[in-house]
Amino acid sequence: MTLWTSAEIAAATGGAASGVFSVTGVTFDSREVGPGDLFIALTGETTDGHRFLDQAFAQGAAGAIVSQHTAHPHVRVADTMAALEALAVASRRRSSARIIGVTGSVGKTSTKEALFAALDRAQPGAAHRSVKSYNNHTGVPLSLARMPATARYGVFEMGMNHAGELAHLTTLVRPHVAMITAIAPAHTAFFPDESGIADAKGEIFAGLEPGGTAIIPYDSPHRERLLAAARPHAAHIVTFGLDDGADVRAIEAMRTSLGATFVTARLGERELSFTMAQPGMHWVSNALGVLAAVDAVGGDLAMAGLALAELGGLQGRGARFTAPLPGGEALVIDESYNANPASMRATLAVLGADAATRKIAVLGEMRELGEGSAAYHAALADPIVQAGVSRAILVGAEMAALAEALEGRVQFVHVADAAAARTSLMTIVAPGDAVLIKGSNGVGLAALVASLHAGTL
């Protein structure tokens, strides 16, 4: 199905088309180009997409947006980044879809995927969402530019690590529903305190369409701050959470014998019972937010419940698999994509609830925590002990404070990097173990996960 014609691209960007062509997809990463795609040749400080035009067309690109001469089919513009944003604006303008914007310190990618699954379960093929963690100044407009004109729902993740970033992204997305999953210490190196993080996340409400809905975590200590940010822009405000005062709340949450959670949720006068496939109370909270958002766009709540029951863990964000070992296998919980204090505590609690006889935690340092980094790391000692961790492998220089706090409480080793963590894990992991692997993405623990997956530890 045609996504854009050359004439539409030229009209949206103010560029000049070299001829007639149509595209079925959009990308700015030459490695991702497939047949029929539009390749946008972005220029940056370290690279220039124009260098990869031949490669993109060899892989099947149907056209390109460029700011330099090329013999390939193209639309030429003055600034390719500005053209990407213009294409995003045009996509949003032509769409009649109900749009949901999602942000938060933790859980935004998982919640975005759960929302997509819930909406797609009811109307297969009618929902669109941003892929991967495309949530920044390039990822959000790309995700918008990829939205089919026929989509009935759009779910977009928006991230930030500085004040003012969401204020711009939300004007592109223009959501009918704006949701904050949670406020927690993340990117604290760039904010004076958590209140500053809450204010920056609250910028998402400024982009709400008239009549829009703000969805806010009731259990957050910053609830009142978020409510104040939403009131000038939202016609409706819905809270979700585990406490009794939330508009969408869990009145029952019981762990099943298979590790899932059976939940009964109340939405006003309505009740819905469903099984949350992913373990942990943080996932129960995410699911309540999903139900609130699905309800706000007029989606099917019963189908959303079924989708939550079928939802698998995402790679790097809770995916579970069994790793082959000599004489048996071990359970691996892959949380290698990112980490902050709140998500560390939540996933350690999930590990603690597992039935494995021995629990191993491979924990990479948490980055961008600023002056409070040592205290945040040291504070993980109690959650590690409470989870019943038998052995811990601490990775990275920032883990020194946690190593000191764990002394005499849990057996651990403190290593410099992911390669050393792999060597340490090889010497201790055994069949029947449960292994949690979690850390900031830059630590590189995904390579350790890949080794376990391939059975090459």
Q: What is the CATH number of the domain that holds 14?
A: 3.40.1390.10
DSSP 79: -
* Inter-residue contact 181 to 108 (CB < 8 Å): yes
Residue 420 in domain: yes
> Is the separation of the CB atoms in 263 and 274 below 8 Å?
yes
Answer yes or no: is 60 a known binding residue: no
Q: Check the annotation: does 359 bind a ligand.
A: no
Task: Tell me the backbone φ, ψ of residue 28, rounded to 5 degrees.
Answer: -115, 5
On whether residue 404 sits in a domain, the answer given is: yes
- Say how far apart CA 128 and CA 146 lie, in whole Å: 9
Q: What is the pTM of this model?
A: 0.85
- Tell me whether residue 104 is annotated as binding: yes
Query: Residue 334: helix, strand or coil by DSSP?
Result: strand
Among residues 189, 254, 249, 199, the alpha carbon closest in space to that of 228 is found at 199
The answer on 302 and 351 residing in a single domain is no
- Tell me, yes or no, whether 286 and 333 share the same domain: no
Instruction: Judge whether 110 is annotated as a binding position.
Output: yes
Residues 177 and 255 in one domain: yes
User: Between vectors from CA 226 to CA 348 and to CA 286, what angle results, nearest 5°?
Assistant: 35
pLDDT at 188: 64
Burial of 10-43, coded b for 16+ CB within 10 Å and e otherwise, reads: bebbebebbeebbbebbbbebeebeebbbbbbbe
Angle at 112 between CA 207 and CA 361, to 5 degrees: 130
User: What is the model's pLDDT at position 3?
Assistant: 98
| CA 17 centroid distance within chain | 36
Q: Are 326 and 305 in the same domain? A: no
Q: In the listed set 310, 327, 345, which residue is the last one of a domain according to the structure?
A: 310
DSSP string computed for 229-263: HHTTT-SEEEEEESSTT-SEEEEEEEE-TTS-EEE
State which amino acid sits at residue 70: T
Q: Is residue 87 part of a domain?
A: no
Q: Kindly state whether residue 216 falls inside one of the protein's structural domains.
A: yes
Q: How many other CB atoms sit within 10 Å of the CB of residue 81? A: 18
Helix, strand or coil, per DSSP, at residue 428: helix
* Residue 108 annotated in ligand binding: yes
Are 205 and 71 in a shared domain? no
DSSP state of 43: B
What pLDDT does 242 receive?
A: 93
Of 310, 334, 355, which residue is a domain's last? 310
Q: What is the pLDDT of residue 187?
A: 62
Cα(76)–Cα(65) distance, rounded to whole angstroms?
6
321's tokens: 């698999």
Do residues 212 and 299 both lie within one domain? Answer: yes
Other beta carbons within 10 Å of 455: 11
Annotated binding residue at 107? Answer: yes
Number of domains into which the chain is organized: 3
CATH number at residue 375: 3.90.190.20
Q: Has residue 86 been placed in a domain?
A: no
What stretches of 202-328 show up as alpha helix (H) in DSSP? 223-230, 281-296, 301-310
Predicted confidence at residue 398, as pLDDT, reads 95
Q: Is 30 annotated as a binding residue?
A: no
325 and 297 in a common domain: no
Residues 26 and 125 in one domain: no
**Does one domain contain both 280 and 324?**
no
Q: How many CA atoms lie within 13 A of 379 on its CB side?
A: 13
Same domain, yes or no: 139 and 272: yes
Residues 263 and 358 in one domain: no
119 and 21 in a common domain = no
Q: Is residue 89 part of a domain?
A: no
Please identify, among 310, 340, 363, the residue that sits at the C-terminal boundary of a domain: 310
In a domain, 85, yes or no: no
Residue 409 in domain = yes
Structural domain harbouring 24: 4-79
Per-residue pLDDT tens digits of the chain, which is 457 residues long? 899 999 999 999 999 999 999 999 999 999 999 999 999 999 988 889 999 999 999 999 999 999 999 999 999 999 999 999 999 999 999 999 999 999 998 889 999 999 999 999 999 999 999 987 788 999 999 999 999 999 999 999 999 878 899 999 999 999 999 999 999 876 666 777 889 999 999 999 999 999 999 999 999 999 999 999 999 999 999 999 999 999 999 999 998 877 789 999 999 999 999 999 888 888 999 999 999 999 999 999 999 999 999 988 778 888 899 999 999 999 999 999 889 898 999 899 999 988 898 999 999 999 989 889 999 999 999 999 999 999 999 999 999 999 999 999 999 999 999 999 999 999 999 999 999 999 999 999 999 999 999 988 8
pLDDT score, position 193: 86
